[in-house]
């Protein structure tokens, strides 16, 4: 049973989202194949989800992800005993940035420009045509997520939205929108976690062996 079959067995209501989930997964795989970057953001509970996604992709999630032999050798050559420990302990990442970090920048943008552009300013620095922007908003209307998506698209990035059944302003703006079939915030959030876990598992499985 693959990750998405398991997802639908446990959460059959998500069957209507499967095409969008597959499309999002494939876009993320493409950008990582080209050594690109995934940018993720959200507010409140979705803020935590963005951090969660980055955490699953930046180190081993379900697999150990050992470093390549060449990189291990370089670590040992440069670091001696410390390099040996690093070569044995570090894991291969998939480059993901949670845009909720950088509080000095975010507060400066909030104070000097407008809070609405806090994510967009980071996107302006990190996004290009070899990146994916993944915005999470239960309503689909979060103004700072929408501003970041517009910025990402203007820089050539592929955009993924994760939201609820209505979709809000994400509809027609994002390249793909995963709309879980709930309308209440907490119920939407309850379905977001298994969706992004399944995507992270599938992406990791594509790049790493057991």
Residues 109 and 187 in one domain: yes
CATH number of the domain encompassing residue 102: 3.40.50.10490
Residues 110 and 153 in one domain: yes
Residues 51 and 125 in one domain: yes
pLDDT of residue 13: 97
Residues 104 and 141 in one domain: yes
Residues 112 and 77 in one domain: no
* Phi–psi pair at 88, nearest 5 degrees: -90, -25
Number of domains in the chain: 2
Structure tokens at 143: 């103004």
Residues 76 and 146 in one domain: no
Map tokens 């069957």 to a residue: 15
pTM: 0.96
Structure tokens at 129: 């045509």
Last residue of a domain, one of 74, 92, 110: 92
pLDDT of residue 24: 98
Residues 54 and 69 in one domain: no
Give the residue numbers spanning the domain of 79: 64-92
Residues 105 and 83 in one domain: no
pLDDT of residue 144: 98
Closest CA to 138 of 119, 166, 159, 164: 164
Residues 103 and 196 in one domain: yes
- In tens digits, what is the pLDDT along the chain, a chain of 210 residues? 688 999 999 999 999 999 999 999 999 999 999 999 999 999 999 999 999 999 999 999 999 999 999 999 999 999 999 999 999 999 999 999 999 888 999 999 999 999 999 999 999 999 999 999 999 999 999 999 999 999 999 999 999 999 999 999 999 999 999 999 999 999 999 999 999 999 999 999 999 986
Residues 8 and 74 in one domain: no
pLDDT of residue 209: 82
Residues 138 and 201 in one domain: yes
Residues 42 and 105 in one domain: yes
pLDDT of residue 1: 61
């Amino acid at each position: 049973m693959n990750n998405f079959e398991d997802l639908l067995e446990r959460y059959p209501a998500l069957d209507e989202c499967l095409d969008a989930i597959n499309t999002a997964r494939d876009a993320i795989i493409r950008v990582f194949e080209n050594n690109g970057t995934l940018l993720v953001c959200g507010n409140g509970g979705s803020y935590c989800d963005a951090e969660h996604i980055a955490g699953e992709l930046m180190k081993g999630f379900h697999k150990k992800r050992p470093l390549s032999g060449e990189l291990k050798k370089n670590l040992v050559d440069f670091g001696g005993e410390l390099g040996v420990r690093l070569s044995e302990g570090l894991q291969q990442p998939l480059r993901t940035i949670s845009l909720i970090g950088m509080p000095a920048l975010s507060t400066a943008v909030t104070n000097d420009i407008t809070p609405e552009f806090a994510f967009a300013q980071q996107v302006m620095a990190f996004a290009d045509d070899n990146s994916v922007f993944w915005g999470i908003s239960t309503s689909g209307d979060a103004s700072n997520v929408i501003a970041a998506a517009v910025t990402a698209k203007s820089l050539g990035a592929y955009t993924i939205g994760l939201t609820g059944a209505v979709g809000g302003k994400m509809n027609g703006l994002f390249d793909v929108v995963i709309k879980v079939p709930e309308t209440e915030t907490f119920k939407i959030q309850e379905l977001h976690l298994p969706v992004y876990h399944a995507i992270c598992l599938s992406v990791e499985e594509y790049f790493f062996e057991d």
